[in-house]
Amino acid sequence: MFELHHLTAQEQLDWLRRGEVSPTELTRHYLDRIERLDSGLGAFMTVTPDAAIARARHIEQNVPKSAALWGLPFGDKDLWQRAGVRTTFGSRLSQDFVPEQSDDIVTALDAAGGVSLGKTNAPEFGLPAYTESRVAPPARTPWDVTLGAGGSSGGAAVAVSAGLLPVAPGSDGGGSIRIPAAATGLVGLKPSRGRVPAGSGFLSLGGLVVDGPLARTVADAALLLDAIAGPSPWSVGPPLWDGGAYLNAAVRGEGRFQIGVMTTSPWDNDYDIAVSAEATAALSLATTQLDALGHGLDDLALDSDPTYAPAFRTLWQAGAASIPAEGDQLELLEPLTRWLVARGRELGARDLATALQQLSMFERSVIRQFDSFDVVMTPMLAMTPRPVGWYSQDDPELNFAQQVQYTPWTSFVNVSGLPAISLPVSMTDAGLPMGVQLIGRPGRDDVLLALGAQLERRLRWSARHPPQW
């Protein structure tokens, strides 16, 4: 039986503008699905039905239909402040906090005409690559609810994958859009640094965090990217945006590109990185399809850099040092966060300055090594989605190693400021999505969308749906 969420986000927006469904009707449809399905998924931290209906009615009466997201529902990640709505940052430390002002990304989504249904689940201060906290149920991939959805935009990914939202924005400081997109069978795009309103959060130190879209199709991801990267005082870089330029790139899906295929990572010298058979199979499938489409493909190995691992660890710890917890408040933090805060506060200014300098040099090196390619492709994750509770809560060093081993190809893209997209190319024998990552040149988010659209046409991943669909 047909239901509204079976339409793509782009189709839903078309229906809204043609009057075939009203913003209020579409909002109620998704609120009903959240009420029925979310208790076993952990997509939302807070749902705001009254505010959402009021917002939908306001849009119907007062907002021009030309607005980029006119009447389309979304959710605010619970690391973002929305005035008057509880924002926990995934922590017991701030579980009752109600902000008086909204963050820039929230303001941008509102200006685009979207309807917020509430706050999507996120881990404590967005620090880990999984969404399991002490203030909310874990975010579970809809494909197998015994497995985690990744993080830190885990709730946003679950909501889109299970049909509780048409699209959702997330933030990515080390893979936090791409990881949950891969674990839930979605497209997830980390834009180029400076492309959208600056990401908030403690990992924004060093310019790591950028906000971006999670969606079921490449075109839907481009639609949301256009909405948040439109003309604004935050955007920098080449003036690509022109009333839907990203969506145009995704819909047209044109171009032949030179692609480097890489399985090495900057963590290889410091951690035991093993690429699973499922990850290798996804990469092989994508390589075969891209070759059939006429793209050039060559193997690529990242130069070894012994400074990367310790420098990134220093930056991660330094970012956590500013979490506003003192004395007895530290006991409210989860073990991993408490460890990061303690280590970060032991660092000196020279330690941080050295790490930032080393990562800046690493950024230059990566861009130079990738210069002969339009796109570099890696596996998205080294393993299948991890079981809920898999990450150590007693040993922070082991926890960090587990995160690196699960997702070794994401953080260096944030350090380099490059755009990257996660694409759900295959399904395992156990029925789990597996993907690949495409990394672009600085500012060439459009190339990733065009290439992703070409793969999507061949592999038809938008036709796959989890049981809740």
pLDDT at 419 over 50: yes
pLDDT at 241 over 50: no
Q: What is the pLDDT of residue 236?
A: 43
Q: Which fold has domain 4-463?
A: Amidase signature (AS) enzymes (3.90.1300)
Q: What is the pLDDT of residue 231?
A: 57
Confidence of residue 293 (pLDDT cuts 50, 70, 90): very high
pTM across the whole model: 0.96
Using an 8 Å Cβ cutoff, are 264 and 301 in contact?
Answer: yes
pLDDT at 271 over 80: yes
Q: What is the pLDDT of residue 197?
A: 66
To the nearest whole number, what is the mean pLDDT of the chain? Answer: 95
**Mind listing the pLDDT tens digit for each residue in 188-222?**
999 999 888 655 555 568 899 999 999 999 999 99
- What is the pLDDT averaged over residues 148-177? 98
Q: Where are the domains of the chain?
A: 4-463
Active-site residue set: 77, 152, 176
Q: What percent of the chain has pLDDT over 90?
A: 93
**Mind listing the pLDDT tens digit for each residue in 12-48?**
999 999 999 999 999 999 999 999 999 999 999 999 9
